[in-house]
Amino acid sequence: MRKIKITAVSYLNTKPLLYGLLNSPLADQVDLSLDIPSECARKLRDGEVDLALTPVAILPELENWHLVSDYCIGAVGEVKTVNIYSEVPIEEITALYLDHHSRSSVALSRILLRDHWHISPKLLPAQEGYINQIKETTAGVVIGDRTIGLENRFPYVYDLSVAWQSLTGLPFVFAAWVSTTTLPLAFTQAFNQAMEAGIAAIPKLKLLLPSPDPSFDLETYFTSYISYHLDEAKREALHKFLDYVAKLEPLASQIARSSQPV
């Protein structure tokens, strides 16, 4: 029997979901790889996997897509690990590096710049090491595990999920379990049960996983910042986000225009 190919985000916030999957009867039925979010999206779009925990910004590029699970990587208000970092207040930034790890965070940043903060900084495609280039009036979007401890380095930190909630009154879905084909019902039911079991195991996981920083409390992060249940409010938020994404001009065009000398 062919194994179901799965890719999932490699960050800390996915560990409860992965723990549930790898400790379920499905463990022997899947071929799992861990990738940065943008690579998860690419693999799903290019048909290299059957199922992906993928940034939701990829959804408009898929001919067919299905939400496979009642669990996701979401937030209600502060998410803690998806932020804009800056040495100056947001209204004073003149350029912004866009984290290349996640398309959803890039799209969300562009929406918030336009509709929440009402500013138009130059958009810069980020490369590895770009965090060291965040200085003076050049800010940067940073996501995931690399954000841990950065609040001590930069005086201004803007949580994108908080800003989204301020704009829309809704939670946010950063990544969801998505397939481009219909998976067997027995698999999806067992998969959902595995996700539920993983969330229930969070008190155990805090004892098994090393904290990336002495000041970073894993259980608080998993339970107070990441909101895993893909409930009706998050489904509404997902569709609202996709409506916003549909109105964005192509990123390459915006970067090219913003890079031209004034």
How is the chain split into domains, by residue range?
4-75+171-231, 82-170+247-259
Residue 10: what pLDDT? Answer: 87
**Across the chain, what does the average pLDDT equal?**
92
Is residue 24's pLDDT more than 90?
A: yes
Q: What is the pLDDT of residues 197-248, one digit of tens each?
A: 999 999 998 888 877 878 888 889 999 999 999 999 999 999 999 999 999 8
Q: What residues have CB less than 8 Å from 7, skipping those under 6 apart?
A: 32, 33, 34, 35, 39, 40, 43, 44, 48, 49, 51, 52, 53, 54
2 falls in which pLDDT band (50, 70, 90)?
Answer: confident
Give CATH for domain 82-170+247-259.
3.40.190.10
Torsion of CA 78, 124, 52, 5, to 10 degrees: -140
Residue 210: what pLDDT? Answer: 79
Which residues does residue 48 pair with via DSSP β-bridges, in sequence order? Answer: none
The three-class DSSP label of residue 155 is coil
Is residue 251's pLDDT more than 80?
A: no
Per the CB < 8 A criterion, the answer to whether 55 and 103 are in contact is: yes
Q: What is the pLDDT of residues 144-193, one digit of tens each?
A: 888 988 999 999 999 999 999 999 999 999 999 999 999 999 999 999 99
Strand order in the sheet with 4-9: 30-35, 4-9, 51-55, 172-179, 66-75, 227-229
Residue 254: what pLDDT? Answer: 62
Q: How large is the average pLDDT for residues 62-82?
A: 95
256 falls in which pLDDT band (50, 70, 90)?
Answer: low
- State the pTM of this model: 0.91
Distance CA 121, CA 129 (A): 20
First CA to last CA distance, the chain: 60
258 falls in which pLDDT band (50, 70, 90)?
Answer: low
The token duo for 220 is 């608080």
Is residue 253's pLDDT more than 60?
A: no
Distance CA 98, CA 126 (A): 6
Q: What are phi and psi of 88, to 5 degrees?
A: -130, 165
Per the CB < 8 A criterion, the answer to whether 40 and 9 are in contact is: yes
Q: How large is the average pLDDT for residues 4-27?
A: 95
Q: How large is the average pLDDT for residues 118-131?
A: 93
Helix (H) or strand (E) holding 195: helix 185-200
3-state helix, strand, coil in the chain (%, to 5): 45, 25, 30
Is residue 259's pLDDT more than 60?
A: no
> Pairing between strand 156-159 and 82-86?
antiparallel
Kindly report the number of other CB atoms within 10 A of residue 190's CB atom: 16
The three-class DSSP label of residue 183 is coil
118 falls in which pLDDT band (50, 70, 90)?
Answer: very high
> Pairing between strand 4-9 and 82-86?
unpaired
Q: Which of 39-43, 48-52, 93-97, 204-208 has the lowest mean pLDDT?
A: 204-208
Q: The domain 4-75+171-231 is classified under which CATH number: 3.40.50.920, 3.30.70.2740, 3.40.190.10, 3.10.20.30?
A: 3.40.190.10
261 falls in which pLDDT band (50, 70, 90)?
Answer: very low
Q: What residues have CB less than 8 Å from 148, skipping those under 6 apart?
A: 81, 212, 213, 216
Per the CB < 8 A criterion, the answer to whether 182 and 66 are in contact is: yes
